Amino acid sequence: MLKFLAIRDFVIVSSLELDFSAGFTALTGETGAGKSILIDALSLALGERGDATMVRNGCERAEIAAEFDVSALPQVQAWLSEQELAGDEGVCLLRRVLEAGGRSRGFINGRSATLQQLREVGEQLLDIHGQHAHQSLTRPDAQRLLLDAYAGITTQVEQVATLYRDWQALRRRRISLSENAEAVAAERELLHFQRNELEGLGFNVADWNALQEDYARLSHAAGLLETAGFGLEILSEADSSCLAQLNALAARIRDGMQHDASLGETLKMLESAQAELQEAVYALRHYQQRLDSDPQRLREQEQRIQSVMDAARKYRVAPEQLDEALQRIVSRLAELGGDADLAELEQQEKSAQQNYLAAAQQLTSARKKSADKLSREITGAMQTLAMQGGMFAVALLPLAEGNAYGLEATEFQVAANPGTPARSLSKVASGGELSRISLAIQVATSQVASVPTLIFDEVDSGIGGRVAEIVGHLLKKLGKSYQVLCVTHLPQVAAAADQQWQVSKAVEKGITLSHIAVLDGEQRIDEIARMLGGVTITETTRKHAAEMLTGG
């Protein structure tokens, strides 16, 4: 609900800060005192368009800030999170700045926001009923939501929406396949050929790497054999091979040790070198024996490498990516399906449509029953609100193929006077009538409506006496479930309020300024007496006012 409102330099308000309470609050005051300024300021905070004329004369900017408690509104908290506009837990702070030059800026929880975002969250927080644009009850989607909540079928509507989306997804897929059947068939044929070609290649990365290593060895076999033979010749097979000369040197060193034992260290190093060279000889002989120089195998490997390289060029990938190319082809074939898949898809679409229609028809039946009941309740309420002979109807307008919400659109229709045709609620001309009809709707649906704060402007236009008392009692009843604010000039309505604010204006230093005061018990008596008796307030008038406040 609305917790706090701050207004600065707006129209004829210099600075105003208001704390709001639950229940029913009445705003009263002399004609022209500026009672509607509060509503105008709230409308601006909730995303309505403004202009430079709203900035108080001589000031640089007007600023409005409204704080709402949203701890009991999970849908608002979810919206704020989705929009990345969440602030302190359970709080939604809307702020609007309007500069004298015409520039406008909006903020939600301290973050810059568009007017659309202000309107979207505002529609979930507050409704203004009267000659103002910010009225959810005139929107078709809000009317449908209200009827569905009244009928208790919100869960079924969500199920129907899911069935509708499933049906439409199958329908779009079937249409796409049908309209592109020839192109799909050609693509499928090409993909089959490509899949067979790549599968026939039998490529895998591990084999490819081993093939390249083996080919490199085979293609250089002659040179490698020559290298091994040269090594063996140098190390052990030539007359003056390394090992022969090393052996001769070692023999002479041993003889020399008979005369000088210090040559023992040198002999150890030579013997170690002999062992290492002998190991090298063994290794070269083993390598020479296992080295394959089969020309036929080499040609086969060359052909295999050429096949892989040709396929890689054809599919415009590196050889190592041929496996991935094959997987893409297989996946695309699965997406396209076959001729049998189109027939199956048509059957799936038909089944999905039947499921949707069956569920949607149940919605239609429930809506008709609740629409008739709601129409009677609101029509009955209108008779007590100075709209005798008026009629309210919840019309269900058939949709050719239905939509995500069922087989019909919802439209609230009103005939304000006997003999006049019913028209859409959004086209009702009289602000007073619209306010009273909205009041009747809110009272009838008070247990299911979701917007927590309701403001009524001109709800008492053109009425008085007994009807005014009825309006006051209805607003008080509504205040038990919602936060209700009403701008009124009728004492019967004001007396029914849980709290009362007085709007006044005065000239200060040549400047007209508007003020709002929260009235206590005696002040309420004086204000209602003024509303009853005009300029001269007698003791009798004050007594009557006191009786009205106590319900006497």
Measuring CA to CA, which residue among 373, 403, 374 is closest to residue 165?
A: 403
pLDDT digits (tens, 9 = 90+) for 449-470: 678 898 887 666 667 778 888 8
pLDDT digits (tens, 9 = 90+) for 208-218: 888 777 777 66
On the question of pLDDT at 69 being above 50, the answer is yes
Q: Which helix (H) or strand (E) holds 14?
A: strand 13-19
CA distance 474 to 472: 5
C-alpha pair distances (Å), 374 with each of 369, 425, 451, 470: 9, 15, 19, 20
pLDDT digits (tens, 9 = 90+) for 298-347: 677 778 888 888 888 888 888 888 888 889 988 888 877 665 567 788 89
Confidence of residue 294 (pLDDT cuts 50, 70, 90): low
- Position of tokens 């809000």? 142
pLDDT of residue 498: 93
Cβ atoms 236, 281 nearer than 8 A: yes
Cβ atoms 184, 430 nearer than 8 A: no
CA distance 467 to 401: 45
On the question of pLDDT at 53 being above 50, the answer is yes
pLDDT of residue 221: 59
Instruction: List the chain domain ranges.
Output: 1-125+499-516, 186-336, 520-552
Sign of CA dihedral 181, 183, 184, 190: positive
Residue 369, Cα to own-chain centre: how many angstroms?
Answer: 34
DSSP code for 83: T
Q: What is the pTM for the complete model shown?
A: 0.58
Confidence of residue 399 (pLDDT cuts 50, 70, 90): very high
pLDDT of residue 293: 57
**Reduced to 3 states, what is the DSSP secondary structure of residue 465?**
helix
Measuring CA to CA, which residue among 156, 59, 51 is closest to residue 104?
A: 51
- Position of tokens 């307008």? 397
On the question of pLDDT at 471 being above 70, the answer is yes
pLDDT of residue 33: 67
Confidence of residue 83 (pLDDT cuts 50, 70, 90): very high
pLDDT of residue 531: 86
C-alpha pair distances (Å), 494 with each of 77, 397, 476, 490, 516: 34, 40, 10, 6, 15
Q: Where are the beta strands (DSSP E) in 179-247?
A: none
Measuring CA to CA, which residue among 180, 187, 178, 185 is closest to residue 346?
A: 178
Q: Is residue 161 classed exposed, middle or buried when 0-12, 13-18 and 19+ CB atoms within 10 A define those classes?
A: middle
Q: Give me the half-sphere count of Cα atoms (radius 13 Å) on the Cβ side of residue 335.
A: 10
Over residues 503-509, mean pLDDT = 82
Cβ neighbours for 222, distance < 8 A, ≥ 6 positions apart:
293
**Of 62-71, 198-207, 444-453, which one has max mean pLDDT?**
62-71
Measuring CA to CA, which residue among 226, 202, 476, 176 is closest to residue 337?
A: 176
Confidence of residue 392 (pLDDT cuts 50, 70, 90): very high
C-alpha dihedral (277, 280, 285, 289), degrees to nearest 10: 180
- DSSP states of 121-160: HHTTTEEEESSSS--GGGSHHHHHHHHHHHHT-HHHHHHH
Give domain 1-125+499-516's CATH number out of 3.30.70.330, 3.40.640.10, 3.40.50.300, 3.20.20.120: 3.40.50.300
Pairing of strands 391-403, 2-10: unpaired
C-alpha pair distances (Å), 454 with each of 71, 178, 360, 480: 18, 52, 32, 12
Q: Give me the half-sphere count of Cα atoms (radius 13 Å) on the Cβ side of residue 127.
A: 23
pLDDT digits (tens, 9 = 90+) for 481-494: 889 998 888 899 99
On the question of pLDDT at 525 being above 50, the answer is yes
Measuring CA to CA, which residue among 214, 193, 188, 183 is closest to residue 298?
A: 214
CA distance 67 to 46: 11
Average pLDDT, the chain: 85
CA distance 33 to 244: 125
CA distance 342 to 485: 60
Confidence of residue 133 (pLDDT cuts 50, 70, 90): very low
